[in-house]
Amino acid sequence: MKRKHAGGAARKHARSDQQIAVDAHARRRGGGREAFRSDQQIAIEAYEQRHGEATRPTPERLRRKLYKREMTRLQIELVKLQEWIRDQGLKVVVVFEGRDAAGKGGTIKRILQSLNPRICDVVALGTPTDREKTQWYFQRYVAQLPAAGQMVLFDRSWYNRAGVERVMGFCTEEEYRDFLRSAPEFERMLVRSGIILIKYWFSVSDAEQERRFKDRIKTPTKRWKLSPMDLESRRRWVEYSKAKDEMFRHTDIKQAPWYVVESDDKRRARLNCIRHLLSQIPYKDLTPEPVELPRRQRAGGYVRPPMSEQTIIPDHYPADGGR
């Protein structure tokens, strides 16, 4: 479900073929584009137009019981999708982009939680090496693309150039403009090669990002997530907004459109994103049938060596479980 983005006057006229097709289909159904958007999305868009993205209303948090029940159901469906990808030899790439603390990592974690890492895995590349800096920009990402029967999730991707590199001045103006020209052709080439390419942008409000940053600061196990670059991105909020709008204007193509995930409520964001991902690839249930566990081999005279001859790690917890 594709939502409309406010990217300036130019954006209003830069409608993709997919948007035109959606509009036509909606008219045939007797509705407008609103027929494809939830009441919550329509309300958020109207609020943003009046007040700006930074002050948009926070949705009511999804109840934990409902979230856990639905997540369990969706993870079973993800296993079915995984088996279909393996069986059919599909090549799937899912790109996760968005502001810092928008919830990309948590969603990726839930997607992979019950899947086989040999079939579905995550790629999160660090800063390019000196050698990689001399290569074709897309080269190090090409090396991570899936083979037949695999799905790769990119936790940030080649879009670093349109975001952090652009805002922080890590690339030249010429490199940035070349990326905006090249990225759509690069992605069309991936699609023509048989890759299923799905791109998600996780959108978080100013207030919610600030709350999550403060939570990371006070929580020792989360503090590592807050880098100096994250703090600087917070200061340059508007510059990142402009960079995102420009990125969408050039790379929101019909072969690989951007899908926006509203992520102020992490639970809703995870469920909505997974449901959408499942809807993008038609699949059948190839879950393996239950098998019968064979009997264990007889000892046949085998005697296990004494435990005293092995190095056992200390047991620090009492036998009663600490009750």
pLDDT tens-digit readout, 121-136: 999 999 999 999 999 9
Tell me if 113 is assigned to some domain: yes
Question: Are 31 and 162 in a shared domain?
Answer: no
- Tell whether 195 is covered by a domain: yes
pLDDT of residue 56: 56
- Cα gap 217→213, rounded to integer Å: 6
Residue 40 falls inside a structural domain: yes
Residues 151, 259, single domain; the answer is yes
- Verify that 217 and 139 share a domain, yes or no: yes
**Are 94 and 37 found together in one domain?**
no
Q: Which domain holds residue 35?
A: 23-57
195-203/120-123 β-pairing: unpaired
Q: Tell me: do 236 and 188 sit in the same domain.
A: yes
Do 130 and 270 belong to one domain? yes
Residues 67-104 have pLDDT tens digits of 999 999 999 999 999 999 999 999 999 999 999 999 99
Q: Is the pLDDT of residue 215 over 80?
A: yes
Distance CA 89, CA 272 (A): 26
Cα distances (angstroms) measured from residue 88 to each of 13, 81, 84, 167: 39, 10, 6, 41
pLDDT band (50, 70, 90) for residue 107: very high
The span from the CA of 316 to the CA of 319, in Å, is 10
The three-point CA angle 199-43-242 to 5° equals 50
Tally of domains within the chain = 2
Residue type for 313, please?
Answer: I
Query: Residue 2 falls within a domain, yes or no?
Result: no
In a domain, 273, yes or no: yes
Q: Give residue 59's pLDDT band: very low, low, confident or very high (50, 70, 90).
A: low
The pLDDT score that the predictor gives to residue 320 is 75
* Closest among 123, 137, 204, 138 to 171, alpha carbons compared: 137
In this structure, are 145 and 41 located in the same domain?
no
Six token digits for residue 81: 């999708």
What is the average pLDDT across 214-233? 91
What's the number of CA atoms in the CB half-sphere (13 Å) around residue 293? 2
List the beta strands (DSSP E) in 204-243: none
Report which secondary-structure segment, H or E, holds 247: helix 237-251
> Looking at the domain assignment, is residue 42 inside a domain?
yes
Same domain, 157 and 30: no
Whether 245 is covered by a domain: the verdict is yes
Q: Please say whether the beta carbons of 15 and 254 come within 8 A.
A: no
Q: Which of these three, 57, 79, 104, is where a domain ends?
A: 57
Examine the domain organization and report whether 138 and 177 are in the same domain: yes
Least confident among 253-257, 270-274, 298-302: 298-302
Helix (H) or strand (E) run with residue 95 in it: strand 91-98
53 and 150 both lie in a single domain: no
DSSP state of 123: E
Does residue 72 share a domain with residue 52?
no
Residue type for 295, please? R
Q: Which two tokens stand for residue 161?
A: 């150039």
Question: Are residues 73 and 53 part of one domain?
Answer: no
Instruction: Tell whether 7 is covered by a domain.
Output: no
Does 1 have pLDDT greater than 60?
no
CATH code for the domain in which residue 244 is found: 3.40.50.300
For the cut 70, the answer to whether the pLDDT of residue 166 exceeds it is yes
